[in-house]
Amino acid sequence: MGKKTKLGIAAVAVSAAAWAGSKALSNPQIRPVKKVLSYHSPLILAHRGGLAVAPENSMAAFSKSAELGVDGFEIDIRLTNDEEILVFHDEYIDRTTDGAGRVADMSLSKLRTFDLGYHFVDINGEHSFRGKGERVVLLKELLEAFPDMYINIDIKDSPETYEGSLMPSKLWRLIEAQGAEERVVVTSFYDEQIDRFNLYAQNRVAIGAGENEVKKAFAAFNSQLGHLYKPRADVFQIPVRQSLFRLDSPRFISFLGNLNVPVHYWTVNEPEQMQALIAAGAKGLVTDRPDLAVAELAKIEDK
């Protein structure tokens, strides 16, 4: 046996010993289950209220989806210039209203002059909500209107902006004042915003995974050191695919599930995909089509 071969075998042996040692010494950090995540059937969450059935983020959409029987809503929040927490996705309002401008530059009273249903087109190609009085909604109003709904709250304002710097503390104070700690999940694409929110919440509110946490979990899952991964989120709300990587394998869902971290997928609008994800172990679906999702889940549960 040559010297190089011996060295190679020794290196493999050392690596294997290190892996075995780390496995033996590791103590998997299973997340404590939050009340909002204690459910048995997969959740149906209406994306921005159910943006295919009524204008996104409108009270009409939230009400219609609630009537259809969804478990909750997936929403985004932004801060107005008078520091009100608005249920809104885009940085600029142009796409969904008859007005124009940046949310953070306008007051609530200004934003409420715009028609939130102005651009919405129904399945018949008609502007069915234009001029019907739909206005922007505050998070406080949504929490009060639907006290029994699961609400996934996504902080959209960047931590580097003024409004983003204020959002974590203001959001915590609102949730606490509303007594909503056990029925919401707070998340963001920005891991920093989640961390800053949790400095105030102190684990009293379920938190989602930011982009970096998702990358870390997926890297651990694909390595030989997955047993060392310690989740910093209570739930993963993720797309089916991220760049070149598929995130919907039953093994990845199981990897997180064994740590008490359920996986929800967005944005799922096709019945076949809904069936496949639930069969793979997904615990929640975020959808623009709550009408289809509720019906599809009922079919699955009847089987």
**pLDDT band per the 50, 70, 90 thresholds, residue 208:** very high
In the chain, domain spans: 31-302
In tens, the pLDDT along 244-289 reads 899 999 999 999 999 999 999 999 999 999 999 999 999 999 999 9
Is residue 40 among the annotated active site residues? Answer: no
Determine the pLDDT at residue 195. Answer: 98
Is 47 catalytic? The answer is yes
Mean local confidence (pLDDT), 69-85: 98
Supply the pLDDT for residue 27: 64
Mean pLDDT of 161-172: 98
Catalytic residue among 40, 89, 227, 264: 89
**Length of the chain, please?**
303
DSSP result, 224-272: S-GGG-----SBEEEESEETTEE---HHHHHHHHTTT--EEEE----HH
DSSP string computed for 36-101: GG--SSPEEEEETTTTTTSSTTSHHHHHHHHHHT-SEEEEEEEE-TT--EEE---SBSTTTSS--S
Contact residues for 140 (Cβ-Cβ < 8 A; gap 6+): 85, 174, 178
Q: What is the pLDDT of residues 2-39, one digit of tens each?
A: 554 544 443 433 344 334 444 444 566 799 999 999 99
- The model carries a pTM of 0.90
**Catalytic one among 47, 119, 227, 264?**
47
Domain 31-302 CATH (choose: 3.30.540.10, 3.30.70.270, 3.90.1150.10, 3.20.20.190): 3.20.20.190
